[in-house]
A and B are shown apart, each in its own frame.
Chain A
Amino acid sequence: MSAATAEKPHTVQQQSSFARVPAAFRLQFINGSALVWVPLMIFLLAWAIAVGIGFWIDYLAEDRVPTEEPFYTGASQASLWGLAFMAAYAGSHTFPFSMALSYSRRVFTIGAVLAFGAVSVAFGLAFLLGAVLERATNGFGIEGYTFYLPYLTEGPGGIAMAGVFTTLACLTVMQLGFGAVILYKRVGLLRLWLVIIAAAVVILATVMLITQQNAWPQVWQWLVEQSALSLSACLVLVVLAQGVINYLMIRKATPA
């Protein structure tokens, strides 16, 4: 590697302002553990534990008829929250390091979001493959499902659309984790908590309003009517908005 780079010209030529985006993307994977090995480990372990518990329950419940009583686990969420932490970590550690490498915040953010996107696609693909496997084996013969969840897989587009949805959900959660840290770096701990409290108040007020209007049945109805496709459409908008908000926040965030 040394010979090839030894004779580069001393002066950096005029280049595209996005020329270093691929390098900023690779920066997120410099040691592999944060965005590849740790999430993969969480994914496999959570799944293995869920399947293990499934077999245990099946063994204990002797009179259970699997086809009549399929069960569904939430183990796929473990990876999502794990990835949210890993994305937060990209904000807390990789961002300051990127400043030492003189990336503009724009290029760093594009690289980071592309990296999150790649990881999300991998997660969506793994979810999809898991669902295919579970469908083929009838939930490992015991009708236990972690990925082949009817709510997501039975809409338009089937399992493939469930993969698209989980990809977008993953990207949403990762951008949320990343954004929370950048917000902290931008405004400090006190104002971060004010924002969190404000968000909690908004959610609480919404809940109160729905309750006051006796609108819960309609809300549930609406949720039930959604499919992986319609939810994905919503998430595309969320992901885009997050990208813009995160960049506006990081634009004047300091690394130290």
Chain B
Amino acid sequence: MSGNTAGTAIQVRGLTRRYGSTTALDDVTVAFEKDVIHGLLGRNGAGKTTLMSIMTAQAWPSEGEVKVFGQTPHENEQVLPKICFVREDQKYPDDALAKHAFKAAADAFANWNWDFANRLIADFRVPEKTKIKKMSRGQKSAVAVIIGLASRAEVTFFDEPYMGLDAVARQLFYDRLLEDYSEHPRTFVLSSHLIDEIAHLIENVVVIDGGRILLDEPVEQLRDRAVTLVGRADAMAELITGREVLHHETMGRIARTTVLGALTEAEQQLVRELDLELQPVSLQQLIVRLTTKRNHNDAVYATDMEVQS
């Protein structure tokens, strides 16, 4: 669990959301620390948008509770103005131009900053005379990103913000977010299924899978969470005995294995003796391994391990 209660922006307890017979969120308990950039990661349909919708009072749970700065956000004008969540599939008034949407946002959010907004409008080259409805996917994402950043809301949610943005625009978004965050620290929750894209931004990782929280840890701790070893298969077998294997693949006599947990001094010595190569595990690899492992345990999917070994 990240953060302490005093510095908690959002506290979620026992949250369950059912749609008919489908359970989108299953007894989720998680906290989002204040003034931290959180990554809410998971596969498509994992429950990311549902969780964000409930945390922002756009939707509500079947069971459980959400507190934002200690208060329930639903119909609460003391808390809601501190939250900004532009959905990935956000609807705008039909004839609205980008400037209309920005004007409305400036009217709604007390911390809205026009200097910053205008800079972002120029950065992202948001067309002035195109109705938002007629904009490309990327241009719509830019409008959403600008509202999210320039509102300077105390808790800002981004739902797959990079959709349709080209590489330059994505980098701009990450740069501007970090710059503004360092000047005006606040809480960000970024949802993504492209983990490496945002890995360098986020300080805390929440992984959601099948409506359940799989992981909630500061990124720093995650780096030591797993390690990949490459080397001769027979030598590998000696080292990994008794360890939890997240992923294993062999190519001829060479094996590549990802194991959970940092290596002890003795193990590191063994790695050198056995002439194995140590490789860091990227956040994306770790999360993919963790989620597929869970699915493997649930006997839902055939994992890479079974297919490849």
Contacts and interface: CB of A to CB of B under 8 A. Distances in A.
Q: Do A and B come from one complex?
A: yes
Nearest to A9: B111
Contact of B87 (A16, A107, A255): A255
Nearest to B115: A2
Nearest to A106: B75
A26 B84 CA distance: 19
- Which of A9, A33, A99, A251 is most buried by chain B, counting CB atoms within 10 A of its CB? A99
Contacts of B75: 104-106, 251
A6 B59 CA distance: 32
A93 interface: yes
B265 to A, nearest CB: 47
Interface stretch (B102-110, B212-220, B276-284): B102-110
B62 interface: no
Interface in A75-119: 89, 92-94, 96-97, 99-107
B interface, how many residues as a size bin? 35 or more
Interface string B271-305: 00000000000000000000000000000000000
Nearest to A8: B111
Contact of A31 (B97, B106, B107): B97
A101 B103 CA distance: 11
Interface in B163-222: 184, 186
A30 B103 contact: yes
Chain B interface, DSSP helix/strand/loop, else mixed: loop
Contacts of B111: 8-10, 12
A107 B90 contact: no
A55 B112 CA distance: 55
A169 interface: no
Contact of A102 (B90, B95, B100, B153): B153
Contacts of A252: 60
Contact of B101 (A9, A15, A97): A97
B112 A12 contact: no
A35 to B, nearest CB: 10
A102 B106 contact: no
A230 to B, nearest CB: 37
A256 interface: yes
A67 interface: no
Interface in A6-46: 6, 8-12, 14-20, 23, 26-27, 30-31, 33-34
Interface residues of A, number: 43
Interface in A189-203: none
A188 to B, nearest CB: 11
Q: Point out which of A17, A18, A104, A252 has the most chain B C-beta atoms below 10 A from its C-beta.
A: A104
A254 interface: yes
B4 to A, nearest CB: 20
Contacts of A107: 77
B154 A17 contact: no
B85 A254 contact: no
A212 interface: no
A100 B93 contact: no
Contacts of B96: 30-31, 97
B81 A20 contact: yes
B106 A5 contact: yes
A99 B92 CA distance: 11
A94 B75 CA distance: 17
Interface string A129-164: 000000000000000000000000000000000000
Nearest to B60: A252
Interface in B136-172: 144, 147, 152-154
Given A93-B93, A101-B84, 12 more contacts: A8-B111, A15-B77, A20-B81, A31-B93, A34-B93, A89-B93, A92-B91, A94-B93, A97-B96, A102-B80, A104-B75, A106-B77
Nearest first, the 6 A-B pairs at minimum CB distance are A101-B108, A2-B114, A96-B91, A17-B77, A23-B107, A102-B80
